Amino acid sequence: MFQRWFKRHRTNGIANGQNRDGSAHLIDMRQIVKTYQSAAGTFTSLRSVDLQVNRGEFVAIIGKSGSGKSTLINMLTGIDRPTTGEVLVGDTAVHRLSEGHMAEWRGKNLGIIFQFFQLLPTLSIVENVMLPMDFCNMYAPRERRERAMQLLALVEMAEQANKLPSAVSGGQQQRVAIARALANDPPILVADEPTGNLDSKTSDEIMELLTELNEKIGITVIMVTHEPDMAAYARTIVHFRDGLIESVEKNEHRTKVPS
């Protein structure tokens, strides 16, 4: 089932090889500075940050609250823009996109998983998973429900498809959120504290699912967390502190998904 429902990242969802801006990386964030103005003065959240991620990597960005890690993710997703610096994803200079093009690009190329799920409460679970396909006009209308049901089966939520989000547990809602993030077969999954609102057992289940998607499908995963146990699932761990990358650790002992 994995191979049938995930194809675009293996072809040309985001271009392979050398990109127009001269980067061979899937994600290349160059000299990112982000400052905010307030009544108290200027606050610098990111200080000339460089981060490169190759296709198929699983990267955890870990740091304390206020270290700048979520701000960096907002630069990648286009939710916010750098004060200076470049954000390159494949052939796209994300920092140069207009607001209209940003929403379309994000919907087709990034699957975003939030700490608090962000499911629409008045839509059924299957309708929540179909929503990105409807928004981006991906897949034929008659195919969307079938694809949504297959994705829900992948995350073991197909039997709950017609329920409202409020009728299932937090861990189950996060599984639905992962299915929704996969709806348009994105090359990149971005997870911002995906286990921050879950108990430890459910957190491990969610992390095992993300690891399986990374290992079996090759989807690139970028995850923000403040929990070392969750970061340990990643192949690369980026330690963030005071708006800077403090160190980058290659994790050779990550949890493996049984074949």
pLDDT in tens, 16-55: 444 555 567 899 999 999 999 888 889 999 999 999 999 9
CB 148 within 8 A of CB 133: yes
Whether the per-residue pLDDT at 208 is higher than 50: the answer is yes
Domain annotation covers residue 128: yes
Distance between CA atoms of 101 and 144, rounded to whole angstroms? 23
From residue 184, give the alpha-carbon distance in Å to each of 4, 37, 45, 115, 219.
Answer: 13, 36, 32, 20, 12
What is the domain extent for residue 175?
A: 2-10+55-75+98-250
The torsion angle over the Cα atoms of residues 145, 151, 155 and 156, rounded to 10 degrees, is 50
Domain annotation covers residue 46: no
Domain annotation covers residue 167: yes
Contact residues for 68 (Cβ-Cβ < 8 A; gap 6+): 34, 45, 46, 47, 49, 240, 242, 243, 244
Question: CB-hemisphere CA count at 13 Å for 87?
Answer: 22
Whether the per-residue pLDDT at 216 is higher than 90: the answer is no
CB 126 within 8 A of CB 148: yes
Number of domains in the chain: 1
SS3 call for 161: coil
Q: Which stretch of 11-25, 68-82, 102-116, 184-198 has the lowest confidence by average pLDDT? A: 11-25
Q: What is the mean pLDDT of residues 69-88?
A: 93
Domain annotation covers residue 64: yes
Domain annotation covers residue 61: yes
CATH classification of the domain holding 112: 3.40.50.300
Domain annotation covers residue 69: yes
Name the pLDDT band for 259 (thresholds 50, 70, 90).
very low
Distance between CA atoms of 239 and 142, rounded to whole angstroms? 45
Single-letter code of the amino acid located at 159:
E
Q: Taking each helix axis as running N to C, give the angle between helix 125-136 and helix 99-109, from 0 to 180 degrees, rounded to the nearest 10.
A: 130
Domain annotation covers residue 81: no
Whether the per-residue pLDDT at 12 is higher than 70: the answer is no
Whether the per-residue pLDDT at 225 is higher than 50: the answer is yes
Domain annotation covers residue 203: yes
Question: CB-hemisphere CA count at 13 Å for 230?
Answer: 29
Distance between CA atoms of 156 and 172, rounded to whole angstroms? 9
